[in-house]
Structure formats: C-alpha cells, structure tokens
Amino acid sequence: MVRVPLTPEERQRGERFGALLRQARGERSMVEVAAAAGVSAETLRKIETGRAPTPAFFTVAALAAALGLSLDELAVACADASGRDGSEFRRAG
C-alpha cells in the first residue's frame, strides 16, 4: 500500500500537536508520560518532534488521558492555525 504524502497543513498540525504535548508534559519525563499512556518513549518522541504527524486515534487518546487533557481541547488547539503556543496546557508545579 502506498502512503499518500502529507500536505503542508497536515505536517503543521502534527507539529502543533507535538508542541502541545511537550507543553502539557511540562517537567514530567518522556519515559514517565509514555509509560502512563502505554506507548513507547520513542513513539512519544516521534510525535513530539513532528516525525509522526498523524498518530493513531488510540495513541492520541491515551496520551491525552495520561496528560489530563481532553480530546476536545486537543482537537481545537491542533486545528487552530492562529499560532497559539500551547501555553493554555501548561501544568502547575
């Protein structure tokens, strides 16, 4: 099966998603969050760096749950091309 190349918009959405996850993760280690979500640290690393811009739904859902984010918040933030930096997802302490 041939994979259709991603559009620039899809790549940008993946980069926004990765940035949001990094912001929400805060000081927690990548390994800690990945383990809590039941994914590998390498998968989380690829998503956060934009190398995996279209992760599977269940991966997104598991990461959202591990980070205390709602899927609705993530969908809105990732669809938003206004340049928000994800600061609304920073966790205290």
- Which pLDDT tens digit goes with each residue over 33-79? 999 999 999 999 999 998 888 899 999 999 999 999 999 988 888 87
Superfamily of domain 8-80: lambda repressor-like DNA-binding domains (1.10.260.40)
Task: Confirm if 42 and 53 have CB atoms less than 8 A apart.
Answer: no
Evaluate if residue 27 carries a pLDDT over 50.
yes
The reported pLDDT for the residue numbered 33 is: 97
Instruction: Quote the CA–CA distance of 37 and 35 in Å, as a whole number.
Output: 5
Q: Which residue has the higher pLDDT, 1 or 88?
A: 1
Helix 71-79 vs helix 8-25: crossing angle, to nearest 10: 130
